[in-house]
Amino acid sequence: MNNQNELSRINRVAWETSAFEAWVKKYGEPEAAASQIASNPEHTARRILPHLQNPKDLLIANPLGSHGRLATALSLLGAKAKVFDISSSNAKYGTALAKAAGASVEYVVGDFVERCEDYHNCFDATVMELGILHYFHSLPEFVSALVQITKPNGIIILVDFHPFTKKLLRFGEDRIEVGGDYFSTVAERAPTPYEEVLGYKLPPCLVRRWKLSDILSAFLVPELGIVSFSEEPAWESEKIPGIFTLVVKRHK
DSSP the chain: ---HHHHHHHHHHHHHTTHHHHHHHHH-SHHHHHHHHHH-HHHHTTTTHHHH---TT-EEEEET-TTSHHHHHHHHTT-EEEEEES-HHHHHHHHHHHHHHT--EEEEES-HHHHGGG-TT-EEEEEEESS-GGG-S-HHHHHHHHHHHEEEEEEEEEEEE-HIIIIIEEE-SS-EEE-S-TT----EEE--TTHHHHTS--PPEEE----HHHHHHHH-STTEEEEEEEEEE-SS-TTSEEEEEEEEEE--
pTM for the full model? 0.95
pLDDT, residue 175, reads 78
CATH class of this structure's domain 4-39+55-250:
alpha beta
Rounded to the nearest angstrom, the gap between the alpha carbon of residue 172 and the centroid of all alpha carbons in its chain is 25
- Of 48, 224, 228, the C-alpha closest to 153 is 224
The residue ranges of the chain whose pLDDT is under 50 are 1
Burial 146-158 (b: 16+ CB within 10 A, else e): bbbbbbeebbbbb
CA atoms within 13 A on the CB side of 21: 11
CA distance 68 to 62: 9
How does pLDDT run across 122-137, given as a tens digit for each residue?
999 999 999 999 999 9
Tell me, what's the pLDDT at 158?
98
DSSP 144-204: HHHHHHEEEEEEEEEEEE-HIIIIIEEE-SS-EEE-S-TT----EEE--TTHHHHTS--PP
User: Contact 91/109 with Cβ under 8 angstroms?
Assistant: yes
pLDDT, tens only, 112-122: 999 998 999 99
Give pLDDT, residue 252: 77
Domain residue extents for the chain: 4-39+55-250
